[in-house]
Amino acid sequence: MSTEAFAQMAFWMLVGLTFAGAAIAVFPRNILHNVLGLALALAGVGGFYLYLGSFFIALMQLLIYVGAITIAIVFAIMLSRPLHLEIPKRAVPKVAMAAVASFIFFAAILGAVFRTQWAPAAERSTDWSVETLGHLLLTRYDLVFEVISLVLLVAIIGAIVTAGFTRRLSS
Amino acid sequence: MNSLGTYMVIAAALFSLGLLGVLQRRNLIGMLIAVELMLNGANINFMAFNRFLAPEPAVGQIITLFVMGLAAAEAAIGLSIILALFRRIHSINVERAQQLKG
């Protein structure tokens, strides 16, 4: 089998894994299964980033999403009561309306995608390297970089305050 | 596999699955998980435009990094709000959080 065919097959397997993970993240009632499905889907998206030519972003996806956010959600689940004890019944009309709404959204996006003529930029540089990325982050996107760090700091302090205050109030 | 349309369809499907999750779940943590799926759909679109159309291939990667950082902040603050709400109403069902309803 040629390398090209192998890459093609691996890509469609990646698509299957990602959508299986996304379906597990949305449909089962057990919240722990949802988190594991989310981890699978996020790892699959990291694989897409590899196909799109960015090894660095794929690693960041694994590190930040699969490594940090999923684990944080698992911690939040463990800190609250066993959640499989409390499964609210879903009203069928509400689920049907949600499905119809998201399907209409999907159809609208598909229409927009296939009706637009996507034209590549006239001159495209081929500089994909991590060096350029770091250089741009510290020159042109300097302000955004700093603001993101500030937002993260404020979010962490806010998380501590929000989770800590109510405990002091209620005990 | 090497065309813009494939990636955009994948991203749209992922985003719609996340939207379905946000609309139909009653569990707050489940809704947070679905929001993460939507953010990832948007990120795939950024990376695909970056790969196939953009004049400078570094910019889309930087935007994707920023979205990841904001998603981390959003997850931290959202989870702490969920924990605070759980201590107060002893449930993470959004339909029970209706004290402000009047």
Residues B61, B71 contacting (CB under 8 angstroms): no
- Taking only the tens of pLDDT, chain A with its 171 residues reads 788 889 899 999 999 999 999 999 998 888 889 999 999 999 999 999 999 888 999 999 999 999 889 998 998 888 776 655 556 667 788 889 999 999 999 999 999 999 988 888 778 777 778 888 888 889 999 999 999 999 999 999 998 888 876 555 554
Whether the CB of A151 is below 8 Å from some CB of chain B: the reply is: yes
Burial profile B59-96: b = 16 or more Cβ within 10 angstroms, e = fewer? bbbbbbbbbbbebbbbbbbbbbbbbbbbbeeebbeeee
The Cα-based distances of A24 to A54, A90, B29, B44 in angstroms read 27, 17, 14, 20
Contacts of B73 in chain A (CB under 8 A): 151-152, 154-156
Most B-contacting residue of A6, A29, A63, A73 (CB-CB within 10 A), to test interface: A73
ipTM for the complex shown? 0.89
pTM given for the model: 0.88
Is 3.40.50.1000 the CATH number for B4-101?
A: no
CA distance A2 to chain B (A): 16
Beta bridge partner(s), residue B27? B93
Structure tokens, A23: 């379906």
DSSP H or E run through B22: helix B4-24
- Taking only the tens of pLDDT, chain B with its 102 residues reads 678 889 999 999 999 999 999 998 888 888 999 999 999 999 999 999 988 888 888 888 999 999 999 999 999 999 888 888 888 877 777 777 777 776
Closest CA in chain B for residue A32:
B30
Ranges of each domain in chain B: 4-101
Residues contacting B81, CB < 8 A, separation 6+: A162
* Among A77, A42, A74, residue whose Cα is nearest residue A60: A42
Q: How many angstroms from the chain centroid is the CA of residue B14?
A: 10
